[in-house]
A and B are shown apart, each in its own frame.
Chain A
């Protein structure tokens, strides 16, 4: 089995790209990744592309051949859809393709256009990721679903809205220097507390924004990297995926995310890395409570301890385990089908030392990314390591 190197990464700025097509957004990210890698497009053997709601937002299904063409590639492409974990799955399958020896050069990433829809339309489109019969028809929105989890968490383990506000403030602070982030500004805990309610106990500043954007990463075999003398110091050494019942009502425990725990166990085992060896993490904080549950599922904190992590400073940029130095979904933005690839891109930059926040983790060698779909009915975890 060959090792997998991240040869290059590319992102569009996350935010509002009114008037641009999804194919143009993805092409920008893909060309940036190929340029960063120093790899010719003709060497790419397959595109793994994540997208969730393009059929609703752009009335465009069958996007893989369209974005493959837009990126100037002359290979086949496949679209992966796993709600907000779409690009995470696209990357994971690209890792598996390289490891198998089937391919030496893969492009993986994703794209989402969301701001061309009204908030109500986005809410409805995202709700498609929930269980249509047993949740959507009962009026459960995505914020509503995470609110149900937050209430269950508070009831089981304690914690309060102020704990969550610290998560939001932390991630906004991290986004200030990130040129790709949608919100490059700080917020205070008080501002988060005072924002309007969306679905109690969650308020507006507990939620990620509506975002357009694309991500791309070039993954190559170690042999290809050596043959072409690529500067690719970061390897993906572990990958894992977990699944759970789609509807919250069917879960044993609504304050835990076992799909993420399963994905993490698989990825840690795959990499031969223990959770206490991880130096920094990018986790799926679509809502503040999601970051808390992720920290516990990833075995960074015991159940009930994740809620206070940001408030204690454990996960801030000067803490023992900086989490979401990119700004996270909360402040960097969440173009759902692009997010998993964006996490790989940000982690690669952080580990290479060319991210504006790399100075927070100058000696980091092990990073973890966690990308979740729905209310974590799907989860993909990757371990990235500095290989040389």
Chain B
């Protein structure tokens, strides 16, 4: 974390989930088959508390994307970068696309998830790489 935020709030499972993306990752599935992401005590779709961790599909498809030219602080060295929402079966993830230019990304482009460290903030950064 930055010096101004030496004692960040706990993330109740988020950091562990993000770290796991380096090895393929997982999502939360309820007894009725609804997908969601941690941290989670209850399925937001049906209220089920019978939740399990299931492996993410190895590849996902870009559902929508944008090339961001004006970035927030913490991403000062990044722009322009491509942010995308990617569908992995019953869940979607949002992250930054690596190794593909904006011209090379289309809706439907196949990618796999990964995790990096954002040097400016110290936070995990979800990224997608060509599948």
Contact = CB atoms under 8 A, between A and B. Distances in A.
B95 A199 contact: no
Interface in B74-91: 74-75, 78, 81, 83-85, 91
Interface in A116-163: 119-121, 123-124, 127, 133-141, 143-144, 147-152, 155
Contacts of B72: 120, 123-124, 127, 136, 139, 141
Nearest to A147: B66
A150 B107 CA distance: 13
Interface of A: 119-121, 123-124, 127, 133-141, 143-144, 147-152, 155, 196-202, 245, 247-250, 254
A362 to B, nearest CB: 42
**Residue from B69, B93, B125 with most neighbouring chain A CB atoms (10 Å):** B69
A133 B14 CA distance: 8
B94 A151 contact: no
B96 interface: yes
Given A134-B37, A155-B107, A140 B83 contact: yes
Tell me whether chain A's interface is mostly helix, strand or loop, or mixed.
helix
Interface residues of B, number: 37
Is chain B's binding surface mostly helix, strand, loop or mixed? Answer: strand
A200 B105 CA distance: 12
Contact of A152 (B64, B67, B124): B64
Contact of B63 (A119, A139, A140, A152): A152
B69 to A, nearest CB: 5
Interface in B1-56: 11, 14, 36-37, 44
Contacts of A123: 70-73
A123 B92 CA distance: 24
A79 B10 CA distance: 28
B126 interface: yes
A187 B63 CA distance: 33
Contact of A139 (B44, B83, B124): B83
A376 to B, nearest CB: 15
B32 to A, nearest CB: 16
A152 B125 CA distance: 23
A138 B94 CA distance: 6
